[in-house]
Structure 1
Amino acid sequence: MSGEPLVGVVLVSHSAAVAESVAELARGLAGGGTQAPLAPAGGLPDGGLGTSEERIVRAARSVDRGAGVAVLVDLGSAVLTVKALLAEGDELPTGTRLLDAPFVEGAVAAVVSASAGAGLEAVVAAAEEARTYRKA
């Protein structure tokens, strides 16, 4: 890892398997070399579907390197859970941002740009720009 702090990325899904799979895809597509800290936060502690504040907080703290934390979510209640944590103000690391980006494409763009050393605003922009990628 370089001497510069990297933006961390958290992937919040209702499914642990989905969060872990998207994290694996993003890591693989980011290539070799320096990799941004990345943590999946999926499912409930009992293994069921849902979002867990505890898992989100733990994941965000684990990737915090002082350059900010970008959080991507899959569905509506995950958005609400992260927004509630941000409103509390002291649970998530300073500089944590909820991104308005597609889950898979946004995750890849965030991890690739963060791994390249981009700052938080550039990581946010890259992930949110993924919303406009045309597939046809």
Structure 2
Amino acid sequence: MTGADSGLVGIVLVSHSAPVAEAVAELARGLAVGGPDAPMAPVAAAGGTADGGLGTSAERVLAAAREVDRGAGVALLADLGSSVLTVKALLADDELPAGSRLVDAPFLEGAVAAMVAASAGAPLSAVESAAAEAYAYRKA
């Protein structure tokens, strides 16, 4: 644990594409910044396969979840299909850190909402709710 992010909910972004997961993580970090000394929830991208292709890697998801786990829970947001199934399988097999939860939310908007809530110190249930509320964001 590091000082500024100790006890914050961690966030893992699971995508079929490593560049997509990294870009969404970067955007979420940038939009969640509350100031130079503000706490920042830990976020990790788990995208693509070990050989750099499109797909989902359980090993990458596990490594990312362990990386962001600070003891307050881990919110996992997945883009689609096999990424969702991979997270569900890891949860069913009890392989993810205690308090890990698959969050039903839009990938990009949900990631930003989760990051903002987690960085504000919200508990896992509130981080999950904030991300899920992103389904209601209207653009027109």
Residue 28 of structure 2 is aligned to residue 23 of structure 1: no
> Percent identity between the aligned chains?
71
Residue 50 of structure 2 is aligned to residue 45 of structure 1: yes
TM-score scaled to structure 2, two decimals?
Answer: 0.94
Moved over 2 A (4+): 1-4
C-alpha displacement of 1:77? 1.0
Please give the alpha-carbon distance, in whole angstroms, between the structure 2 residues aligned to 1:80 and 1:112. 26
TM-score scaled to structure 1, two decimals?
Answer: 0.96
Residue 105 of structure 1 corresponds to 109
1:100 to 1:116, Cα distance in 2 relative to 1, 3 A: same
Please give the alpha-carbon distance, in whole angstroms, between the structure 2 residues aligned to 1:109 and 1:72. 11
Please give the alpha-carbon distance, in whole angstroms, between the structure 1 residues aligned to 2:83 and 2:21. 12
| Residues 46-125 of structure 1 aligned to structure 2 (within 5 Å) | 46-89=51-94, 91-125=95-129
How many correspondences in the alignment?
A: 135
SS state at 1:118 partner: coil
Unpaired stretches in structure 1, ≥5 consecutive residues: none
Q: Name the amino acid aligned to 1:71.
A: L
What is the CA RMSD across the aligned residues, in angstroms? 1.1
Please give the alpha-carbon distance, in whole angstroms, between the structure 2 residues aligned to 1:64 and 1:115. 14
Q: Name the amino acid aligned to 1:106.
A: G
Q: Name the amino acid aligned to 2:10.
A: G
C-alpha displacement of 1:76? 1.3
